[in-house]
Amino acid sequence: MKKTALLFAGQGSQVVGMGRDLYEALPACRQLFDRANEVLGRDLRRICFEGPEDELTKTDNAQPAIFVHSLACLAALESVAGPVRFEATAGLSLGEFTALTAAGAVEFDDGLRMVQARGRFMQEACEATDGAMASVIGLDEPLVAEICREADVDMANLNCPGQIVISGERSRIARAVELARARGAKRVIPLQVAGAYHSRLMIEGQKKVAQELTKLPMRLPRVPVVSNVTARPGSSVEEIKTLLTRQVTASVRWADSMMWLIGQGFTRFIEFGPGGVLAGLMKRINKDVEMLVVSDLKTLEETRGILASG
């Protein structure tokens, strides 16, 4: 039996229309989207299915929308293939909350309220600062760290070998982009984002997230949930909440997280949520592991078939 980890999408993967085909086809998915509207007291389902894009992209909409869609994808798979056997979970940034929910540490309603609050706090931090982000392609971590020190910005995401996202004040990111190009980066891509996520500019949002986490009911997950901050699972509820707080301003060590899981013997990974971004990153982290995706009815059927064959 293959050792399986479930992976959950992060912000930036959202797309207008996500979840509509699952909602229309499967009662288990309808139940989650309808419940989300009840819990939040607003029509998140409409934003997912109809947009417009600029509304869906807002942090306080995108985070709960991806949370619900990702768990609907998991519910869809279990509704057609039976209970999914897995031994660990992980999620990119916001996806870590989805991973904790899938692992039984947090109830759906509580997790949804938490990610909506987190999204609102981060949106407020974006609006109060002038932040930017850029993706640096083709430089290793020590060199990017040196560039960040010189430009006084932060490393936000260590996604896969040769791809690191930097984050900070807009003028300082512009300086870091110049330095990266001068140091031989293959490409440096400014990102179209609302602000400087996973940087010191999120500190006010982090304080509010910390307060909100004190109210979040949580128990130990049934399986290890890998932290973005340490690339290791937390060992207690207190530690998990501390890491979730730190995550708001800390680097997301996604490549290290995947390498840790692979080092623990995991050979099958299933990504849930829109975009297939994590599957793309895995191709650059380790091409030899099996990577499946559930994001819509088409990928659901493909993954169901593969699981049925063993």
Label the pairing between strands 290-294 and 187-190: unpaired
Q: Higher model confidence: residue 169 or residue 309?
A: 169
Contact 10, 91 (CB under 8 A): yes
- HEC profile for 181-241? HHCCCCEEEECCCCCCCCCHHHHHHHHHHHHHHHCCCCCCCCCCEECCCCCCECCCHHHHH
pLDDT at 207: 98
93 is catalytic: yes
**Nearest CA-CA partner of 295 in 2, 17, 109:** 17
pLDDT at 238: 98
pLDDT at 20: 97
- Which amino acid would we find at residue 220? L
pLDDT band at 275 (very low <50, low <70, confident <90, very high): confident
Distance from C-alpha of 308 to C-alpha of 298, rounded to nearest angstrom: 16
CA distances, 281 to each of 159, 161, 246, 264 (Å): 7, 9, 23, 19
pLDDT at 303: 97
pLDDT band at 310 (very low <50, low <70, confident <90, very high): confident
- Residue from 70, 93, 135, 295 carrying the catalytic annotation: 93
Residue 75: phi and psi, rounded to 5, are -60, -35
Distance from C-alpha of 96 to C-alpha of 160, rounded to nearest angstrom: 17
pLDDT at 181: 97
Instruction: Reply yes or no on whether the pLDDT at 104 is more than 90.
Output: yes
pLDDT per position as a tens digit, 35-87: 999 999 999 999 999 999 999 999 999 999 999 999 999 999 999 999 999 99
Cα distance between the two ends of the chain: 8
- Residue from 198, 199, 257, 295 carrying the catalytic annotation: 198
Distance from C-alpha of 195 to C-alpha of 124, rounded to nearest angstrom: 10
pLDDT at 1: 79
pLDDT at 192: 83
**Domains, the chain, with CATH or none:** 4-127+200-308 (3.40.366.10), 130-190 (3.30.70.250)
pLDDT per position as a tens digit, 280-295: 999 999 999 999 999 9
Torsion of CA 248, 97, 84, 75, to 10 degrees: -130
pLDDT at 194: 87
pLDDT at 78: 97
Can you list the alpha helix ranges (DSSP code H) found in the chain?
20-25, 27-40, 44-50, 53-57, 59-81, 95-102, 108-128, 141-151, 170-182, 203-214, 237-247, 254-263, 277-285, 297-308
Using only C-alpha atoms, the chain has a radius of gyration, in whole angstroms, of 18
pLDDT per position as a tens digit, 3-32: 999 999 999 889 999 999 999 999 999 999
Label the pairing between strands 4-8 and 268-272: parallel
Distance from C-alpha of 123 to C-alpha of 3, rounded to nearest angstrom: 37
| Percentage of residues in the chain having pLDDT higher than 70 | 100
257 is catalytic: no
**Average pLDDT value for residue range 252-281:** 96
DSSP, collapsed to helix, strand or coil, labels residue 160 as strand
